[in-house]
Amino acid sequence: MRLHHLGYVGRDLQTLLRRFQAEGAEPIGEPVPDPVQRVVVQFVQQPGSGELWELVVPLSCVEDSPLRGRLARGGGLDHICYELEAGDGPLEQVLRQERDRGGQIVCEPVMATAFGRRIAFVFRRSGRLVELVEPRPPGGLL
């Protein structure tokens, strides 16, 4: 697995985007609504460092959002995402390994609109929320 991005949760995409841009980050593409996860995501990159951030906000109202609990705690740094590589095996196998190490699967594999491939979330015993994304297809951008 390799680091793909860091996830940052907030209530309002324009506010988050302004804050990140004030620190030099540049948007990548347009915001992507994801009706499956009921969020909107916007990727930004910090030039020179290669840092890729995923800004995540509710698709509609906060009360119906899977982000509700995180936003109640103020939002902010939310998760780390690892991209699987060919030798890691299929996503289901990696999730079994995570479960065997004591991780709790909090989101079974679903198609992510922003990637065009499946993702899953694991809450590890260390307290970290980890997103796993399937390998990038040849020529894929994100």
Kindly report the average pLDDT of the chain as a whole number. 93
- The predicted model scores a pTM of 0.92
Q: Is 97 a member of any domain? A: yes
- Percent over 70 (pLDDT), the chain: 99
Per the structure, the complete domain to which residue 66 belongs is given by 2-133
Q: Is 18 a member of any domain? A: yes
The whole-angstrom separation of Cα 35 and Cα 33 is 6
Q: Is 8 a member of any domain? A: yes
Q: Give 107-112's long-range contacts (Cβ < 8 A, gap of 24+).
A: 110/36, 110/37, 111/36, 112/34, 112/36, 112/37
Residue predicted with more confidence, 119 or 86: 119
Q: Is 138 a member of any domain? A: no
Using only the alpha carbons of the chain, give its radius of gyration: 15
Q: Is 142 a member of any domain? A: no
Q: Is 9 a member of any domain? A: yes
Structural domain count of the chain: 1
CATH assignment of the domain containing 19: 3.10.180.10
* pLDDT tens sequence across 29-62: 999 999 988 999 999 999 888 899 999 999 987 7
Q: Is 27 a member of any domain? A: yes
Q: Is 140 a member of any domain? A: no
